[in-house]
């Protein structure tokens, strides 16, 4: 069995914990704090309330922190995202189990005629298979109803370090293992239109079907930057202080040791002292988007500019590779250049993102 070469990097040098376990604790810390200190009447929130921004962030938004200086409005609670393994599916019901196979973890969700699914292509929800790894977005106003399902979806974002006629090996950064990407003939034309230079040293960002040893690449998540990863162009100079609200592209990443369904965001500009930077000798720590340094555990208000949804999320890890892309998201209009947030799957889906599209136009506001 072909395996990617290179060892898994560890972010245990980052503030706030050891590796992914520390990131998971950071992601849960705010929820535990809210559970202890919120008023007794709010100790048992409805599922539709789980994604509402905390009061301190809502107050900052209401005060006028928003894109382009406009006064942002408080958004409605966001839908819940569920990750698990498909145990059974019928025309009316989808049964999802714990990814670890824990007994008694089954969850049942109703399927409506409008429910859609993706497994390499759009399909009917009833075409899902037992054993598929699924990310489910529930209906925002109807509890227990599945609205959108992605099965076995995966993503590889990084620098090509080896390319043969059969596969590519991609370096996703110091905090993640190297990945193998196999591009089937049916998808080669579509991918090479957006990624014409599939050679070592160039960046790639591909969405496809996750297999046990490799990703079957099917969809180009962006257009390939014209420069090699080692020659990142200089960002335009901007005078004055870095603004609190920064606009750009929000993407998502596959979990790599993160707990299923964890809410959080990997940030492209962690403080270099944490050790989670990429090749600082070449200046990659600066990146294209102009962003302030933050530490793990900081809180960001992430806004989906396409639908107005927003959510306060903790910074749970590094998104060093995101600094290397100076692309734009065109999900709705055209975003400014640069990736400003790399969300977990659950966070991306809950904010209204479509995993198979890869990004949404976003504005991040740094919590105080």
Question: Do residues 129 and 186 both lie within one domain?
Answer: no
Provide the pLDDT for residue 228.
Answer: 87
Domain end residue (candidates: 133, 151, 169): 151
Mean per-residue pLDDT over the chain, rounded: 78
Residue 226 lies in a domain: no
Residue 3 lies in a domain: no
Tell me: pLDDT of 3 over 50.
no
Q: Per-residue b/e over 243-272, b at no fewer than 16 CB within 10 Å?
A: eebbbbbbbbbbeeebbbbbbbbbbbbbbe
Stretch 104-113: mean pLDDT: 88
Provide the pLDDT for residue 242.
Answer: 66
Question: Do residues 194 and 132 both lie within one domain?
Answer: no
CATH number assigned to the domain comprising residue 99: 2.40.50
Residue 71 lies in a domain: no
How confident is the model over 9-42, as pLDDT tens digits?
Answer: 333 333 334 344 454 554 455 444 444 344 333 3
The pTM score is 0.78
Question: Do residues 16 and 87 both lie within one domain?
Answer: no
Compute the distance between CA of residue 165 and CA of residue 161 in angstroms, rounded to an integer. Answer: 14
Question: Do residues 182 and 130 both lie within one domain?
Answer: no
- Report residue 275's pLDDT band, with 50, 70 and 90 as the boundaries: low
CATH number assigned to the domain comprising residue 170: 2.40.50.140
Query: 291: closest CA among 341, 345, 357?
Result: 341
Domain end residue (candidates: 101, 136, 151): 151
Domain carrying residue 294: 11-63+241-368
Provide the pLDDT for residue 162.
Answer: 96
Provide the pLDDT for residue 64.
Answer: 33
Residue with tokens 């990736």: 339
Question: Do residues 125 and 160 both lie within one domain?
Answer: no
Instruction: Please tell me what DSSP assigns to residue 260.
Output: T
Q: In a 3-state reduction of DSSP, which class is residue 315? A: strand
Stretch 217-235: mean pLDDT: 86
Tell me: pLDDT of 130 over 90.
yes
Residue 75 lies in a domain: no
Domain end residue (candidates: 96, 116, 151): 151
Q: How many domains does the chain have?
A: 3
Residue 230 lies in a domain: no
Compute the distance between CA of residue 323 and CA of residue 277 in angstroms, rounded to an integer. Answer: 10
Residue 69 lies in a domain: no
CATH number assigned to the domain comprising residue 246: 2.40.40.10
Tell me: pLDDT of 232 over 90.
no
Residue 232 lies in a domain: no
Residue 15 lies in a domain: yes
Among 80-89, 281-290, 324-333, the minimum mean pLDDT is found in 281-290
Question: Do residues 358 and 247 both lie within one domain?
Answer: yes
Stretch 183-203: mean pLDDT: 95
Tell me: pLDDT of 124 over 90.
yes
Provide the pLDDT for residue 51.
Answer: 40
How confident is the model over 143-154, as pLDDT tens digits?
Answer: 799 999 999 999
């Amino acid at each position: 069995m072909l395996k990617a070469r290179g060892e898994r990097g560890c972010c245990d040098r980052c503030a706030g914990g050891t590796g992914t376990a520390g990131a998971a604790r950071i992601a849960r810390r705010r929820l535990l704090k809210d559970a202890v200190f919120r008023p007794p009447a709010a100790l048992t929130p409805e599922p539709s309330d789980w994604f509402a921004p905390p009061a301190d962030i809502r107050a900052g938004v209401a005060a006028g922190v928003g894109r382009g200086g406009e006064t942002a409005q408080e958004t409605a609670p966001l839908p819940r995202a569920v990750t698990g393994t498909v145990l059974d599916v019928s025309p009316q019901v989808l049964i999802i189990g714990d990814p670890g196979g824990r007994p008694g973890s089954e969850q049942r969700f109703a399927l409506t005629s409008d429910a859609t699914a993706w497994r390499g292509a759009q399909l009917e929800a009833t075409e899902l298979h037992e054993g598929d790894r699924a990310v489910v977005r529930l209906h925002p106003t109807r509890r227990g109803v599945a609205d959108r399902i992605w099965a076995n979806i995966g993503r590889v974002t990084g620098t090509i370090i080896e390319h043969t006629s059969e596969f590519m090996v991609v370096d996703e950064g110091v905090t993640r293992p190297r990945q193998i990407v196999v591009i089937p003939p049916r998808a080669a034309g579509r991918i090479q239109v957006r990624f014409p230079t599939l050679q070592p040293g160039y960046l790639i960002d591909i969405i496809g079907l996750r297999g046990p040893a490799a990703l079957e690449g099917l969809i180009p998540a962006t257009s390939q930057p014209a420069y090699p990863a080692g020659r990142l162009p200089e960002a335009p100079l901007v005078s004055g202080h870095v603004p609190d609200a920064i606009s750009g592209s929000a993407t998502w990443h596959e979990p790599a040791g993160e707990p299923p369904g964890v809410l959080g965001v990997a940030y492209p500009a962690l403080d270099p002292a944490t050790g989670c930077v990429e090749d600082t000798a070449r200046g990659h720590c600066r990146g294209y988007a102009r962003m302030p340094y933050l530490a793990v555990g900081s809180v960001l208000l992430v806004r989906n500019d396409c639908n107005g949804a927003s959510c306060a999320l903790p910074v749970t890890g590094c998104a060093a590779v995101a600094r290397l892309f100076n692309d734009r998201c065109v999900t709705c209009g055209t975003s400014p250049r640069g990736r400003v947030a790399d969300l977990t799957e659950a966070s991306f889906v809950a904010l209204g993102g479509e995993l198979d599209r890869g990004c949404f136009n976003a504005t991040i506001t740094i919590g105080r």
